[in-house]
Amino acid sequence: MSLILKILSYLFLSAGVQCVHQVSWLPCKFSDEHVFVNNDNHTETQLIHRQAMLQFGKTGDAPVNPHGITFLITGLGSKVDLRRYIEGAEAEQLECELHRYSTEGIHVRWPVMGARDYNHWFSCTLRHTKGLFTVTSFLRHPSDQPPPGQQDYHKWPPIGDKEILTTTVAMVIKTQTPSVRAGLGSQQKLHCQFAVDHKGPDITVEWDWQHRGEKSRLFSHTSRTGQSQGTGVGLRGLAGGDASYTLPFTKMSSEGTYSCSVSVNPVLVSVDINLQIQERPRVSLSTGSTLSLLEGEDQRVFCDAEGYYPLDVKIDWYVQDPPVSDQRVGAPLPKLLENVLQSSHKEKWDKTYSLTAFFYLRASLRDSGKQFTCSVSHQSLRVPIKKSFILTVEDPTRRILMLSIGVSVVILMVFLYLFRTRRRTVIKAASLI
C-alpha cells in the first residue's frame, strides 16, 4: 500500500513540476534606432542590432546577464502574462525580437492603476521555430520625464549596454496559424487572440487582406460605438478576446497575407497570417499496369499531372530491372531515364495547372519484364506520387508461329465439325431406306 502511495505521490509531483514549468528568460535581438538628419536635410533611421535579455520577474530582481540590456517584465500572473501565450514551448524553440515603438507624438495616459503620464513603448515578438504560433506584445516602460515636444522617434532616449528596463505587458496578440496551406473549396479559420491589461478599453479590431499590391479591409469593429463592418468574426467572441476570422470557401483569390490588428490609443499591435493555396496533382499514365509490345515496335508513353497549384511540379521517369530469382540482397535500383520530354505548363479554367512528361519506347526483348515508373513531386505532397507499368516484349516470329498454330487448330476443328455433320446426315439417310 505504501508503495502505491509513493508512486502516486511521485506522479503528482511530476505533473506539478510540468504545470509550473515556465520560461523565465529569453535571449532577444533588440533593433535599436539612431535617427538623424542627413546632408539633404532628410530624416534617416539607422538600425543598430543589440543583444538583450527578456526576463520575467518582479521589480528589483537581479539581471540574468548583468553585462547586457535587460527588459524585466513584471506584473506576472495577469491575463496579459506573456508566459501564458508561449506555454508548452521550450526556450530554444522561441525566436525573440524587440523594437522601439513610436506613438508619433500622441501621448495618452495609459488607464491602469499607478500609471504615469508618459511611457516608453517597445514591441516584443516571439515566434515558434516550427511555425506553431506568433505572439506580439507591447511592453510599457513608465518614464518620469515629460513627453518630448516633437514626435518621439526624433529623439529616442539612449539605452545603456547594462541598463535594466522595468516594464509591464500592456497588450498582447497571438495567432496559432501564422502560416496556412489550404485546398480549393475548403473552410479555414485564421486564429487571432488578444488581451489588454485593463477593463473596458476602447478597442478597434480590424482584419486586412493583401496580395500582389492589392489590399482590402475585410472586417472592423469599434467597441466604443459597437459598430461593425464586414463579416467573418464572431462578435460574441470579441468580448473574450477571440478575433479569429473564418473563410467559408477558399478560392484562388483567397491567397495572400491576412493581418489581424488590435488598437488601443496610442498603440496598435498586429499579427500576419500567410495563406497559400495548394492543390495536389492528379497523376495518370497512358498505359495500364502492363504494356505488351512486339520487338522493334515503337510506343510513346505519357505521364500526366493535372490540377496542381502552385506552378512548380517535377516529373521524373525511372526504369528498374526485374529481380533475379536467385538474388539474395535487395531489388535492383531504379535508374533515371534521360530521354524524357515535357510539355509546357497549361493553365486550366480553375487556375490550376497541368503538365505532361513522355518518352519514346522502342521495344526490345532484353527490356521485357522491366518496370517503368513515373514519379511526380510537388510542395503539396509529403512523398511523390508514383505510377508504374510492366513492359512485356514478344518475339514477332514466335507470335507468327503461334498465330499459324492457332489458325491450323481452328481449321482442323472446322473440318472435324463438318465431317461429323456429314456423317450424321449419311447415317440418317441410310436408316430411312
Q: Where are the domains of the chain?
A: 21-277, 282-326+340-396
Are the CB atoms for 305 and 377 separated by under 8 Å?
A: no
Mean pLDDT of the chain: 87
Q: How many CA atoms lie within 13 A of 305 on its CB side?
A: 32
Q: How far apart are CA 244 and CA 260, in angstroms?
A: 8
Q: Which of 16-30, 106-120, 236-250 is most confident?
A: 236-250
Give yes or no on whether 21-277 and 282-326+340-396 have one common fold: yes
DSSP 103-172: -TT------STT--SEEEEEEEEEEETTSS-EEEEEEEEEESSPPPSS-GGGGPPP--TT-EEEEEEEEE
Higher local confidence (pLDDT), 373 or 106:
373
- Residue 384 C-alpha cell reads as 511523390
Residue percentage of the chain with pLDDT more than 70:
86
* pLDDT of 419: 72
Please tell me the class of the 21-277 domain: mainly beta
The predicted model scores a pTM of 0.79
Render pLDDT for 138-158 as a digit per residue (tens, 0 to 9): 999 988 777 666 667 777 889
Distance CA 205, CA 260 (A): 7
pLDDT level of residue 108 (50, 70, 90 thresholds):
confident
Residue 41 banded pLDDT, cuts 50, 70, 90? confident
Question: For 22-44, what is the mean pLDDT?
Answer: 88
Q: What is the pLDDT of residue 156?
A: 84
The cell for 420 is 461429323
Q: Is the pLDDT of residue 402 over 70?
A: no
> Alpha-carbon distance 254 to 232, whole Å?
13
Q: Specify whether the CB–CB gap between 144 and 115 falls below 8 A.
A: no
Cis peptide before 178 (omega within 30 of 0): no
Q: What DSSP line would sit under 19-68, residue for residue? A: HH----EEEEEEEEEEEEE-TTS-EEEEEEEEEEEEEES-TTPPPSSTTS
Sequence-ordered list of residues with C-beta below 8 angstroms from that of 117, at least 6 positions apart, any chain: 107, 109, 146, 147
Q: Note the pLDDT tens digit of each residue in 6-19.
A: 433 333 333 333 33
Question: For 59-88, what is each residue's pLDDT tens digit?
Answer: 999 999 999 999 999 988 889 999 999 999
CATH number of 282-326+340-396: 3.90.550.10, 2.60.40.10, 2.40.50.140, 1.10.357.10?
Answer: 2.60.40.10
Residue 14, pLDDT score: 37
Over residues 85-106, the mean pLDDT reads 92
